[in-house]
Structure 1
């Protein structure tokens, strides 16, 4: 059997495995939210539209998301988005470099990112200017103290997802070599870094977030997630969806998988009147905040322009999921961007379809480029 045939069979098996896994998850969503698993208006047309890649679209996701945003043929199926659309718009051959958070400071102007204190790349320590460091315990604390920073966040620079292993440390006022985890009070030292973060990590200053955004939960940085698409027709960047994550009381991370919720944001910056968890369960009150009140994201149109400018710096990829924080002066800063695991569901539980007015353009382009899909399996 030829190598290409083996790859094709393997790839198709992976597609179907992921589709089965996705199907099971959305059946769970249906049960949790009392959504009937039966045919709905527009389903036939939706299945036809999204089955053009050769993998028949399962109607389960259409039934789920139409429950939230109405019967819209442009609802994006998560599995087809992952296996076909993301793979074409964000080619795999370029992902490794862009997925490393330690290269972000090379991609963007200095003001875009929180200040980096220390980084470790492929086993070597570097300072904020990428100069290599012979690391010892004393050098480690010297770098932290010379930064004149009182709060730092430590996270994996490669492979971290959903807020896993993101830790916040605060400096003790009375001890130069005493930094404690804000949640567990564990002391920080070099062996801690080596043990928990291995060969790739980044230490950054904690941005003092906007008082307005802090109101929703003061213990977490409540990040804004924006979908940015760089059009194949004019190479301009467009924001196609927006939600804000909100951590649970006392939580350092805001991710929905870690007990947080998220709220949809309309194109004019106004908040939806309900928050949502990862299972699509909605409520109008979270952290004692009543979302039936009219909330508006600060400095909204500057944030949108900032997001578009980020997209213009990532030249190899066209579909980005940005995580943005607003500082105390309501200026936006990029925490990170994602080029895989786009999470179309975040937007489709809340304000509308993931790609909005660009759905047909994206679909046409990806169908045209389908033969260029890179193999997931290397043989």
Structure 2
């Protein structure tokens, strides 16, 4: 549902295909009463090197340990849009590639069918390294510190034109766990055993809450 409009010389905002002009009437027809209009984010040169038309984001999964209460970054997955698309959604034609803790970007990307493709970058794909990996990790931990009621979070983070991390959204469900497993390996890594033990001990305390809308 994301659409991009660009300002033209006549002052009107049009979609890149020049078919539709941004108006309140258009927004109401497309989205009824539920929409947000905001300035488009200009991404860093490094992130734009994967795809120039979409803002390519990092899916960063954080976990607050049930033993130490320390917040850990479990995985960083780079999402790459296909050229011409304005979003990098995995199920919308995008691809994913794992980013290691030291910033190394994998050389193989995966699409939503599981097919593997070589990673392409404007500066060449060999030995790619995310320059801001330290800043992204610190930023993700700080965000997770502010959200007390969820031990597991999936954050979508972009790198702006000033090479600063920007939070697009955070998820408290639908974490996209397969994204990490398809590119980096087991989701919880060496925290797997402590999570299994915790769930066994607290199984009887678990319950589901159903909300009925009236």
TM-score by length of 1: 0.53
Measure how far apart 1:375 and its partner are: 2.5
Aligned 8 A contact 1:262 1:276 in 2: yes
Aligned 8 A contact 1:249 1:287 in 2: no
**Structure 1 residue 231 corresponds to structure 2 residue 65:** yes
**Structure 1 residue 318 corresponds to structure 2 residue 154:** no
> For the residues of structure 2 that align with 1:220 and 1:250, how far apart are their CA atoms?
7
Residues 224, 273 of structure 1: CA spacing in aligned structure 2 closer, same or farther, 3 A cutoff?
same
Q: Secondary structure at the match of 1:201?
A: coil
> For the residues of structure 2 that align with 1:338 and 1:191, how far apart are their CA atoms?
31
Q: 2:85 aligns with which of 251, 255, 275?
A: 251
Q: How does 1:119-198 map to 2 (within 5 A)?
A: 165-175=1-11, 178-183=12-17, 185-198=19-32
Residues 367, 200 of structure 1: CA spacing in aligned structure 2 closer, same or farther, 3 A cutoff?
farther
**Structure 1 residue 331 corresponds to structure 2 residue 167:** no
Residues 339, 182 of structure 1: CA spacing in aligned structure 2 closer, same or farther, 3 A cutoff?
farther
| Matched residue, 1:307 | 140
| Matched residue, 2:128 | 295
| Matched residue, 2:55 | 221
Measure how far apart 1:312 and its partner are: 0.7
Q: Secondary structure at the match of 1:203?
A: coil
| Matched residue, 1:264 | 98
Measure how far apart 1:365 and its partner are: 1.9
Aligned 8 A contact 1:247 1:261 in 2: yes
Aligned 8 A contact 2:97 2:109 in 1: yes
Residues 378, 346 of structure 1: CA spacing in aligned structure 2 closer, same or farther, 3 A cutoff?
same
Q: Which runs of 5+ in 2 are unaligned?
A: none
Q: Which runs of 5+ in 1 are unaligned?
A: 1-164
Q: 1:203 aligns with which of 19, 37, 59?
A: 37
> For the residues of structure 1 that align with 2:33 and 2:207, how far apart are their CA atoms?
28
Q: Secondary structure at the match of 1:268?
A: coil
| Matched residue, 1:343 | 176
> For the residues of structure 1 that align with 2:45 and 2:198, how far apart are their CA atoms?
42
TM-score by length of 2: 0.91
Aligned 8 A contact 1:243 1:265 in 2: yes
Measure how far apart 1:377 and its partner are: 4.4
More helix by share: 1
| Matched residue, 1:131 | none
Q: Secondary structure at the match of 2:106?
A: strand
Measure how far apart 1:324 and its partner are: 0.4
Count of residues paired in the alignment: 212
